[in-house]
C-alpha cells in the first residue's frame, strides 16, 4: 500500500508540477527592415519585408496570420496568410511574411497572402506538432511605430 501511495504522489507531481505533459510554447518575434531608402519615403508604397524569428528550429505544421481586431470578436475569421504542412516540413528558424516555405503550401489552393496594412494590428499563430505560439504585431511608417 505504501508503494502505491508513493507511486500516486509521483504521478501527481509529474502531471501538475512539471512540463512533461504540457504542449510546448513557441516564442516568436519580428523584424521589419526596409529594402531601400525609396521604399521608406514613399507614401502608400508596399510594406517593407517582415521577418519572423523563432527561438529555435521548428518543423512548422501551420502558420496563420489574422487581423487582431476581427479575431478578438470572431475566432473563425479568414486569415490574411495561411500555410499548412503538405509533407515533412524542413526545420526553420526564420521566415518572411508571404514567402513560400519548403514543405508547406497555402491552406486554400490558389490563394495569395494579402498585403499588410500600416498601423493595423495582426496576430500570427504558429504550430509545430503539439507546440504552439502566437505573436501580435503591426507595421508602421517608422521603427518607432513598429510593435
- List, for residues 10-69, the tens digit of each pLDDT value: 988 888 887 676 667 899 999 887 655 444 444 445 556 889 999 989 999 999 999 999
Task: Judge whether 7 lies within some domain.
Answer: no
Instruction: Count Cα neighbours of 79 within 13 Å in the Cβ-side half-sphere.
Output: 20
Task: Judge whether 1 lies within some domain.
Answer: no
Task: Judge whether 18 lies within some domain.
Answer: no
Q: Which residues contact 5 (CB under 8 A, 6 or more apart)?
A: none
For residues 104 and 34, give the distance between their C-alpha atoms in angstroms, rounded to a whole number: 26
For residues 12 and 117, give the distance between their C-alpha atoms in angstroms, rounded to a whole number: 48
CATH number, domain with residue 99 = 2.60.40
Supply the pLDDT for residue 143: 43
Does residue 63 contact residue 101 with C-beta atoms inside 8 Å? yes
**Short-list 48, 72, 147, 63, CA closest to 103:** 63
Task: Judge whether 78 lies within some domain.
Answer: yes
Task: Judge whether 80 lies within some domain.
Answer: yes
Task: Judge whether 112 lies within some domain.
Answer: yes
pLDDT in tens, 72-97: 999 899 999 999 998 888 899 999 99
Residue-range definition of the domain harbouring residue 78:
23-145
Structural domain tally of the chain?
A: 1
Instruction: Count Cα neighbours of 9 within 13 Å in the Cβ-side half-sphere.
Output: 6
Task: Judge whether 9 lies within some domain.
Answer: no
Task: Judge whether 93 lies within some domain.
Answer: yes
Supply the pLDDT for residue 24: 78
Size of the chain in residues: 147
Supply the pLDDT for residue 38: 44
Q: How confident is the model at residue 108 (pLDDT cuts 50, 70, 90)?
A: confident
Amino acid at each position: 500500500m505504501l508503494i502505491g501511495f508513493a507511486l500516486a504522489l509521483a504521478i501527481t507531481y509529474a502531471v501538475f508540477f512539471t512540463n512533461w505533459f504540457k504542449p510546448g510554447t513557441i516564442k516568436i518575434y519580428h523584424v521589419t527592415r526596409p529594402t531601400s531608402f525609396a521604399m521608406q519615403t514613399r507614401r502608400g508604397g508596399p510594406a517593407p519585408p517582415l521577418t519572423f524569428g523563432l527561438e529555435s528550429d521548428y518543423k512548422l505544421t501551420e502558420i496563420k496570420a489574422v487581423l487582431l481586431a476581427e479575431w478578438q470578436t470572431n475566432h473563425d475569421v479568414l486569415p490574411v496568410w495561411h500555410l499548412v504542412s503538405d509533407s515533412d516540413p524542413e526545420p526553420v528558424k526564420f521566415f518572411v511574411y508571404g514567402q513560400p516555405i519548403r514543405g508547406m503550401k497555402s491552406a486554400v489552393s490558389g490563394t495569395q497572402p494579402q498585403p499588410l496594412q500600416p498601423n493595423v494590428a495582426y496576430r500570427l499563430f504558429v504550430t509545430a506538432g503539439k507546440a504552439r505560439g502566437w505573436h501580435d504585431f503591426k507595421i508602421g511608417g517608422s521603427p518607432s511605430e513598429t510593435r
